[in-house]
Amino acid sequence: MKTVYYFTADWCQPCKKTRPIVEELNREQTTTGFQIIDVDDNIELVNSFNIRSVPTFILFEDGLEKNRIIGAQSRESLEEFIK
């Protein structure tokens, strides 16, 4: 199983544009789950993953980090990211 951690913030404009895409993909994907993580509410997790910009996407497969992208993404780029 793949999991994507999506680090976001309510005050982040690129995050506001990306979040509906993430929520849609989360509903549609059967092999990948998305965890939406608000950086303001999860400081310890943000620090443990060394998050410095939002939005940040981290792809995990079998519990190991496989890939990371930073910045607003299109649906197409997120689909490619999780392949």
Q: Which positions ≥6 away from 41 have C-beta within 8 Å?
A: none
Single-letter residue type at 75: R
Cα distances (Å, whole numbers) of residue 78 to 21, 28, 66: 9, 13, 14
**12 is a catalytic site residue:** yes
Catalytic residue among 12, 51, 54, 78: 12
Catalytic residue among 4, 5, 15, 18: 15
**76 is a catalytic site residue:** no
Residues annotated catalytic, as ranges: 12, 15
